[in-house]
């Protein structure tokens, strides 16, 4: 697949490196292609990765992966314009400080807000609910961490689940995009456990079934 990773910070660089290793073409969409950290990431990631502007990356890709900060979203929306028909994996959390943005979450989730910003895109909420440290290695002993995802589009869900599986997660369908609110709350709860309870950042979710 051709994957546009918008943002090359902790989450974007981790996901991009891992998917490039899996053989995907990874196009990082960044503000400054020549920034030393972007160039170092490209060197480290190898031949399957390249970097360009946010708009170019999104235009070239089949799947767009949103890994910028919530505060950056208005600028990113403006830069991208329409992304009709594309799968858009929303890894963001609508955080202001450590709390969910009340302006968003009183009426809808961040995932639904992203879908409202990009009405033609097939938005999937995913990769938002655990720390970046786990994203390229979700194996805990003999068990794989769970990755919940939510979307209104069945085909997009399949692609998201496949990309999650390729990283080693057990993907679990959490339902329609409206369920993003649960995934975003889960991210805040992850933070409470990691920081508030001192469990550290290498914690992840696992759904038990019988």
Instruction: List contacts with ligand NAP (CB under 6 A).
Output: 7-12, 30-32, 54, 67-70, 72, 75-76, 91-93, 95, 128, 131-132
Using a 10 angstrom Cβ sphere, with 0-12 exposed, 13-18 middle and 19 or more buried, the burial of residue 183 is: buried
Which has the closest alpha carbon to 138: 175, 162, 165? 165
Task: Give residue number: closest CB to ligand NAP.
Answer: 9
Nearer to ligand NAP among residue 91 and residue 179 (C-beta): 91
Closest contact distance (angstroms) between CB of 35 and ligand NAP is 7
- Quick one: tokens of 206? 């696992």
Cα-Cα-Cα-Cα torsion 65, 68, 70, 71, nearest 10 degrees, comes to -150
Q: Closest approach of Cβ 127 to ligand NAP, in Å?
A: 6
Nearest to 1 by CA among 15, 9, 120, 14: 15
Smallest gap from Cβ 203 to ligand NAP, in A, equals 11
Look at the alpha carbons of 43, 44, 46, 49 in this order and tell me if their dihedral is positive or negative.
negative
Q: In terms of CB distance, is 67 or 146 closer to ligand NAP? A: 67
Instruction: Please state the closest distance from residue 38 (CB atom) to ligand NAP, in A.
Output: 8
- When the beta carbons of 161 and 187 are compared against ligand NAP, the nearer one is 187
Given a contact cutoff of 8 angstroms between Cβ atoms, the answer to whether 68 and 5 are in contact is no
| Per-residue b or e along 109-132, where b marks 16 or more CB atoms closer than 10 Å to that residue's CB | bbbbbbbebbeebbbbbbbbbbbb
Q: How far apart are CB 20 and ligand NAP at their closest, in Å?
A: 16
Task: Give the nearer residue to ligand NAP in terms of CB position, either 9 or 120.
Answer: 9
24 token code pair: 């995907």
- Report the residue number, 97 or 141, with the smaller CB distance to ligand NAP: 97
């Amino acid at each position: 697949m051709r994957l546009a990773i918008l943002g090359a910070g902790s989450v974007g660089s981790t996901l991009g490196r891992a998917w490039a290793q899996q053989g995907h073409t990874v196009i990082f969409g960044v503000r400054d292609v020549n920034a030393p950290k972007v160039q170092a990431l490209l060197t480290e990631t190898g031949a399957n990765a390249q970097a360009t502007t946010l708009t170019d990356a999104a235009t070239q890709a089949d799947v767009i992966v949103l890994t910028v900060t919530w505060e950056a979203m208005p600028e990113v929306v403006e830069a991208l314009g329409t992304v009709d028909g594309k799968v858009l994996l929303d890894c963001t959390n609508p955080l202001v400080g450590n709390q969910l943005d009340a302006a968003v979450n009183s009426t809808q989730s961040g995932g639904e807000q992203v879908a409202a910003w990009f009405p033609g895109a097939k938005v999937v909420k995913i990769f938002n609910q655990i720390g970046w440290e786990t994203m390229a290695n979700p194996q805990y002993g003999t068990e794989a961490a769970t990755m919940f995802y939510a979307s209104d589009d069945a085909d997009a869900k399949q692609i998201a689940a496949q990309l999650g599986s390729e990283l080693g997660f057990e993907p679990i369908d959490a339902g329609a995009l409206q369920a993003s609110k649960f995934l975003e709350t889960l991210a805040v709860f992850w933070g409470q456990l990691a920081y508030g309870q001192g469990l550290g950042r290498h914690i992840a979710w696992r759904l038990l079934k019988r």
